[in-house]
Amino acid sequence: MKKRERIMLIIKFMFLGIFFLIYMVPFIFVLINSFKSKRDILLNPMALPTKLEFSNFINAFNKMGYIHGFVNSLIITVFSVLFIIILSSTTAYILVRKKWKFNQIIFFIMVASMIIPFQAIMIPLVRIYGSIGMLNSKWALIYMYIGFGTSLAVFMFHGFIKSIPLELEEAAMIDGARGMQLFWLIVFPLLKPISMTIAILDVLWIWNDFLLPSLVLVAPEQRTLPLSTFYFYGTYTADYGLSMAGLILTIIPVIIIYLILQKYIINGVLQGSIK
Amino acid sequence: MKEEKRFIDKLKTYLLYAGPTTFIFFTVIILPFLFGIYLTFTSWDGISNSHNLVGFSNYIEAFKDMKFLSSFGLTLKYVLYTVILTNIIAFLFAYILTSGMKGQNFFRAGFFTPNLIGGIILGFIWQFIFSRLLVYIGNNFNIPIFSSSWLADPVKAFWTLVIVSVWQNSGYMMVIYVAGFMNVPKDLLEAASIDGANAWRRMINIIVPMMIPSITICLFLTLQRGFMVYDVNLALTKGGPFKSTELISMYVYNQAFLSQKYGVGQAQAFVLFLVVALVTVIQVYFSKKMEVEA
């Protein structure tokens, strides 16, 4: 029995090991080739680079407008997520605490709307916002992200706030807390775990999103990182070393964050999917 | 909070807390959705300001469009394969990674990595792998299946999409299945072992029924992502070779923004919405029915 278990363990480990290799290999080869010249890559894409040369990275960094892309992505992601959290939490709070018929209808519409795929509204969305001149601005994009992110966030906050006992708020009211003060001082701090989950899910989504920014942001200096990578790669596809370096530059910030916050990110995904 | 009695007080409270959200939500989701339905009944070309009502002719044209139908068929095939493969692989990963082996956190983190990176970049990475690396391997080690780029062959290009999507999504689903496995009561499994149930019996009779909630979520997510895929499609195959791998999202996008057929494009997008809504609602309904209590 002992022997059989050990064999099973070895089989499991090998199975995982092989798959792990397959999962990582694409990243590894992109990394290796990002240090090589086009000639070396054509000669042998599997060989290790003979020397560590960063010229591809410096070139890619300049040609793709990395700083612009990074800063735009950062501004858009941070503001969108902040607004989603602030606006959705107060909304969910009022929807939970006030059992008006109207609130139930709004909540129902929000939950039902989650089934609408982006593709079903992208054409009219561009039409409407184009006709009032709101395209090509990152603030318009942030506005849209709030709209797209709000229903899931309200839904998740709603589930969480329901479990918070009303006594806490009643006690705070006796102590003199009124109106919004009550929410921000007493309720909002309790929402930290669910706010973290929502923030993680939304950062992953907004930072990596391509289709919506590609429709809204037209001018090159407005581009987010996925957009500038897309145009850069399109222009320099044949220049393999350079294009690989561009991909690595885009991946690096995410991997650094992942190494630091790995536990929270995986946990956030988990909590988010169960709700 | 104090109880509002008059309508005007209720309205004030509502607007204070939920006003901005409600406004943004309606202007970004509901208004375009309704306007989109209206657009499907017009002959708008994207430039002129006149919307002539044309009844159902856009829908008729949508269904007469053979390319739309074949793109839809291809998407169904793609969804079928990615949903099945992603869930099987994710389930297996989760099963092994909850058996208490060493380094399981390392493996979990590794398998999850593709989910941190946008589909555009993942597509480009694999484009290099399929068109350069594998071709090199095929030619130098005499492996005929790799000797020409998979992206240049319509059938193989379809499979590159399936492979990359499974690679991309299985880590995410794995995380959900891991949570499911950890929620299977240990005493139930022990009791079954004592009663003589082997690993396979325990899997079929205890683990799978207890995992139905996780399976429901993962099926829902993989179905939805499958129908909606765009980024990987664009970066990896660009719909090629010869438009043979244009999945439905890309088709609708091109129809509207490249061919300027907004009315027909929106009608096709709306058909897509109805199909996705129907499929996911049916799936969730049946999965929910299969749930059991411990």
Following DSSP, what letter does each residue of B122-165 receive, concatenated?
HHHHHHHIIIIIHHHHHHHTT-GGGSS-GGGSHHHHHHHHHHHH
* Residues within 8 A of B (CB atoms), A 250-269 only: 250-251, 254-255, 258, 262, 265-266, 269
A41 assigned to some structural domain: no
What 8-state DSSP symbol labels residue A221? G
Query: Which of A64, A121, A142 to probe by mutation at the B interface, max B CB count within 10 Å?
Result: A121
The CATH number linked to A153 is 1.10.3720.10
Cα nearest neighbour of B27 on chain A: A147
What's the whole-number mean pLDDT along residues B216-226?
Answer: 89
Spell out which residues of chain B touch residue A115, defining contact as CB-CB under 8 Å: 276-277, 280-281
What's the whole-number mean pLDDT along residues A77-92?
Answer: 95
Beta carbons of A156 and A275 less than 8 angstroms apart: yes
Domain count, chain A: 1
pLDDT over 90 percentage in chain B: 26
- The secondary structure of chain B in percent helix, strand, coil, rounded to multiples of 5, reads 75, 0, 25
Beta carbon pairs, A and B, within 8 Å = 239
* Residues within 8 A of B (CB atoms), A 145-184 only: 146-148, 150-151, 154, 169, 173, 179-180, 182-183
pLDDT at position A77:
94
A19 assigned to some structural domain: no
**Angle at the Cα of A178 from the Cα atoms of A177 and A181, rounded to 5 degrees:** 80
Beta carbons of B17 and A102 less than 8 angstroms apart: no
What's the CATH code, domain B61-289? Answer: 1.10.3720.10
Whether residues A115 and B118 touch (CB distance < 8 A) is answered with: no
Spell out which residues of chain A touch residue B14, defining contact as CB-CB under 8 Å: 94, 98, 100, 102-103
Is the interface score ipTM higher than 0.90?
no
Place B122 in a pLDDT band, splitting at 50, 70 and 90.
very high
Distance from CA of A46 to the nearest CA of B (A): 7
A163 assigned to some structural domain: yes
Using alpha carbons, select from A252, A26, A232, A217 the residue that is nearest to residue A126: A217
Among A92-101, A189-198, B111-120, B143-152, the least confident range: B143-152
Residue A150 domain boundaries: 66-226
pTM: 0.89
A104 assigned to some structural domain: yes
Backbone angles phi, psi at A44, to 5 degrees: -160, 100
What's the whole-number mean pLDDT along residues B130-150?
Answer: 81
Distance from CA of A84 to the nearest CA of B (A): 9
A90 assigned to some structural domain: yes
Whether residues A113 and B120 touch (CB distance < 8 A) is answered with: no
Whether residues B20 and A87 touch (CB distance < 8 A) is answered with: yes
